[in-house]
Structure formats: structure tokens, C-alpha cells
Structure 1
């Protein structure tokens, strides 16, 4: 079993609590947003078993959100950390929620998150919300880290690349596709674009290959 197999059950659970859920946002396995004034930000980290590393990840994420959830698969013989009173007490003191996932994908609520005193990082929280909102759809399954993450920036760069298949473009030609098109072409983070002439950019072979890997819908 992979950590990614836990993503869908956790996503369904958080969606039942009226969160919009997306995977691998800002280095977090699962991020949920619930609209309001202010909006509520939830982070859930996934592991195959409850352990100290999972708790440490939760501590690291706490400054960027309103609630932290820790999710892992249920131990087969009932001897995992989820049944350890000390482990639950630690998570309760930290204000973390605990979710156990059965082999069939059922989610058991072990501990609800409490509201700890505010210890938030406003800038990090804002970046997390911005990335969540900029992404189109939910392109990445939470829990995986080996494949390149389909960030909102990569989505915008791919959209620009797709629009340039039929020939070179100026940044202003792509502004309707992405407000940051000029920045994407200028900095050329992925090597997909090359300057054809002053103020005009063309798609490179690397850019064509990227579109083969991540096909884009017709404009």
C-alpha cells in the first residue's frame, strides 16, 4: 500500500465537512479550504502508520493553517500507535485530529482537532491559499513526492506553451491565458521557451515534449 492510496478516503472525509480539497499544495499532502470570513484552512498529512515523523510533520504545518489532521492506515492487529493512549494524548495536546484508514478505505475518526492558541505564519498561510486557488482542478494525488508537482505555475506555463504550438507569441498575446505570462516567458523556469526576436517568444523542443507529457485541452 502506498501513501497515495490514503488520499481519496481522506479527501472524501474532508469534503463531507464542506472543504474543497486538493493534494500536494505547498509541500502538504492534503489541503482543504472552506469559504468564509475568514476562510478556514486545513492541512492533513498522510503516512502508512502513525509515528513520530507524522507528528513532526503536523507540527511543521501548524503555523500555516487553522487545523491539522494526521491520517494513516489502521494497524492490522490493533497494536499501532493509534491505540496508544500516550500518542493520542500528545496529539490532543497539540490540537491535531487523527484519522485511521481501513484496508477497505473506510475512515475512522479517532480524535477531533482542538483549537490551539494562534501560532500562525500569515505569509505562509497566504501562499498556501493562493496556490490552492490558482490551481485548475485537483491535478495531483496527495501523498506522493517523486513525480514533478503540477503547481499552478506549471499549469499556467503549459497553457502558454499550448497556445504557442501554432507559432511564436508576444507576452501580451498570452495575457488572457495567464496574467503572469510575461513573467513565465521571461524567466523560462522549465526551458520551454526561447526568444525568437525582441519581445517575441517561440516554443522549444523541450516545450513540445512537455506538452506530450501533459497534454492540454484545446483552447
Structure 2
């Protein structure tokens, strides 16, 4: 599975000085430079190098300073990583290639050219904001068909954790979850119910969600210092 590539790639980028999180804004791997918080790197994962992986990377080039693609390296050296035309295409596009061995070792096949043109600043800003607001790294890059732990879901779970013992006023929850009012009133997941004006409780669906997700998200959330 593509998720098996995430930890080696994450370790590689962390070693290069990035804070790395998985499945942010539709990207498998997103890193923000520790030395320059405006520097953004994106990596897309596949079990093998193919055209779809390059197309994904081209799309990410509009929002990232560096774009990488990573895939398992063929033991028999019959994969696209051995095709000079494929490597040359990546070089021309400024896309870096990372090969992952069966033992999880990462090798640079083609270096990424930086900086790349940022042609979609609005989308880039959304990606940066999600990366910054998400607590920790709760989603494994390359995950598919499973609900993701987004920053919004983390805050909703923070509200649910606060309400587990009983209904509370919004201002009491806001101490731990800054956007509590918007989350409780919006009630996107159906986890909350209004008991009276300014007071909310937890629904059975919310309690079930809390029990499901709580091991993956330390709660309640507190604003950054």
C-alpha cells in the first residue's frame, strides 16, 4: 500500500529540515521548512512510477516550492525509474524523484528544482493554513477511502471531549477550542445539539465519534502558546 511509503519519505524530509504531515489538502505528504515557514514542499506517493504520478506532481507545482514523487524501486530494475525518458521528463518539469527500497531506504533519483512558480496562491494559502492548524501528524500519507483527521475534525473532537461530561456554554468550550462557536452552530457531523441558547450537548453520534477518534487525537485541544 502507498501508506507503507509514508514513514520513509517523512523521515527523509524531516532530515532535510521540514515539519511533515500526511494527507493535507489532498496532498499525500506536505512539509514546511523549519528555517523558513513560507517554504512548502509536497510529495506524492505511488507503489510504482507512472504517468499519473507525474500528472499529480504537475498539479501540485502551482502551490509548492518543491515537488517530489516517490515510489517503490523495482527490485529487477524494470520500473520507470530505469527509463531515462521518464527521468528526463521529471528534470524538465522540475520534479524530484525518490526511490524507496524494500527495506525503506530512500534514494534521490532526480533532484527537485526550487523555487517552482506559485501560480495558485489561494490554494497554496489553504494548504499552508491546514498544515499549521492541524495538531501533530494524525493522517498517514497515501491513505484512501478512510475519513481524514483534518484540523476541523480535531477541533470538533475537542468540543466533543469537553461536552462528554454534560452540556456546557460555548464560552466554556472556547477556552480549549477557539472556533467552538462556529463548530457547534455549524454541526457539520451531527455531533452536537443545542440545549438552550448558548448551551450545547453531545449527541449519541458525537459520543460514538469521540470513542472512535480519541486515541488518535489527544483531547481537549488547546490553542498554541
Shorter chain as normaliser: what TM range? over 0.9
Do 1:69 and 1:98's aligned partners in 2 also have CA atoms closer than 8 Å? yes
Query: C-alpha deviations, 1:26-51, integer Å up to 9, x for none?
Result: 01000000044562100000000000
Q: If the length of structure 1 is used for normalisation, what is the TM-score? A: 0.95
Q: Partner of 2:10 in structure 1?
A: 11
Do 1:156 and 1:177's aligned partners in 2 also have CA atoms closer than 8 Å? no
Q: How far, CA to CA, are the matches of 1:117 and 1:148 in structure 2?
A: 31
Q: Partner of 2:183 in structure 1?
A: 184
**Matched residue SS, 2:141:** coil
Structure 2 unpaired stretches of 5+: 221-225
Q: Partner of 1:124 in structure 2?
A: 123
Q: If the length of structure 2 is used for normalisation, what is the TM-score? A: 0.93
Q: Partner of 1:209 in structure 2?
A: 208
Q: CA RMSD for the aligned pairs?
A: 1.4
Q: How far, CA to CA, are the matches of 1:214 and 1:115 in structure 2?
A: 38
Q: Relative to structure 1, is the Cα distance of residues 86 and 116 closer, same or farther in structure 2, using a 3 angstrom cutoff? A: farther
Do 2:66 and 2:116's aligned partners in 1 also have CA atoms closer than 8 Å? no
Q: Partner of 2:66 in structure 1?
A: 67
Structure 1 unpaired stretches of 5+: none
Q: Partner of 1:114 in structure 2?
A: 113
Q: How far, CA to CA, are the matches of 2:142 and 2:40 in structure 1?
A: 18
Do 2:17 and 2:35's aligned partners in 1 also have CA atoms closer than 8 Å? no
Q: Relative to structure 1, is the Cα distance of residues 119 and 129 closer, same or farther in structure 2, using a 3 angstrom cutoff? A: closer
Distance apart, 1:218 and its partner CA: 6.0
Q: Partner of 2:223 in structure 1?
A: none
Q: Relative to structure 1, is the Cα distance of residues 166 and 102 closer, same or farther in structure 2, using a 3 angstrom cutoff? A: same
Distance apart, 1:179 and its partner CA: 1.4
**Matched residue SS, 2:168:** coil
Q: Relative to structure 1, is the Cα distance of residues 25 and 184 closer, same or farther in structure 2, using a 3 angstrom cutoff? A: same
Q: Partner of 2:163 in structure 1?
A: 164
Q: How far, CA to CA, are the matches of 2:219 and 2:12 in structure 1?
A: 34
**Matched residue SS, 2:61:** helix
Q: Relative to structure 1, is the Cα distance of residues 38 and 140 closer, same or farther in structure 2, using a 3 angstrom cutoff? A: closer
Distance apart, 1:86 and its partner CA: 0.6
* Greater displacement, 33-42 / 170-179: 33-42
Q: How far, CA to CA, are the matches of 2:219 and 2:91 in structure 1?
A: 49
Q: Partner of 1:105 in structure 2?
A: 104
